[in-house]
Structure 1
Amino acid sequence: MAWQLSALDRLEIQELYARYAWGIDLADEEMALSAFAKDGWFDHLWQGRVQGHEAILENLRSLWNDRQSWWYGRQHLMNTIIMDPREEEGEVDCRCFFQIIQFQTDYHTNFVFGIGTRQDHVTKKEGVWRFQSLHVNAWTAADQVPWKGEILLKQKPSHKAPPVAGRKD
């Protein structure tokens, strides 16, 4: 590898993830779009592949306005980001875990909306790190968990909570 990510590059990429989350979670169009390269795209379970600022903005507006109960009070948390520079300088593959938590305003409760992993490609165009591509792997089935170890489960996991000591049901 001819180049390495500097500490400043790593911090700027972490801030890119923060700007993306603040933008989409607060319906801030300018901030959300600033996270993407002009020809950037995202691939998500429900929307599929959406490319370019115009299409991304149209998609986000639809989510924010048509499904506001899904978005109002939501926070996307991306963490444990691994950054792997590509051969070409200014091109980095990132992977991370994500959680989506939400404050449900009607019931005044908080809950986990979803979890999963992401595979993203960030690029430094015009001196700023942006998403070239963003791929969301929302865990909705056991085969979507990228488990590398041997699966030793002898039976399907139960959806029931484990028993609580001292509690009679």
Structure 2
Amino acid sequence: MFKMKISWMGLFFLSLQVSAGQIYQCGDTFQDRPCAGGQPAKVIGNYEQEKISGDDIKARQEEQAKLEAQTEADSQARYDAEVAAAQRAQDASAIDMGKSDAIKQHRVIEGLTKKEVIKSWGDPDRKKQVTTKYGMREEWTFVKDWGNKDYVYFDGDTVSEVSLTQTTIE
């Protein structure tokens, strides 16, 4: 039994040995053995396969492991980017729905554009540029019932702040 194991191991290691051979052209096909059926063959050349040492095999295995780890990291990064993009799209959709609801309910919220504010509340009673702790901003004033004023501040074309007047009835 022990000799049989050694024989099989010997055959295994012999299979790892590199052989030399010739390259044959059989019609349009190239192969490492003579043509079948006595078909004429043209010998293209001789070759000797590369002999690989144990250290070379270990180095190639380590290189392969590095490539596989990098591929895994790249796949994870792509997956994370796709998840983040999907989340941003979902968030944008929710914001758009929030904007739509606000306009329908005649409310002004941060993130609306100037056109959307006009859809919701109409044209402002006054527009002016003001200096705030955040820098220059455009301020729209809306005069409401009983002379109360609501203010909408824009950074560029987007609402950045809304200041509503609280009405108290005495």
Q: Which has the higher contact order (CA 8 A, sep 6+)?
A: 1
Structure ranking higher in strand proportion? 1
Task: Calculate the TM-score normalised by the size of structure 1.
Answer: 0.26
Q: Which has the larger radius of gyration?
A: 2
Task: Calculate the TM-score normalised by the size of structure 2.
Answer: 0.26
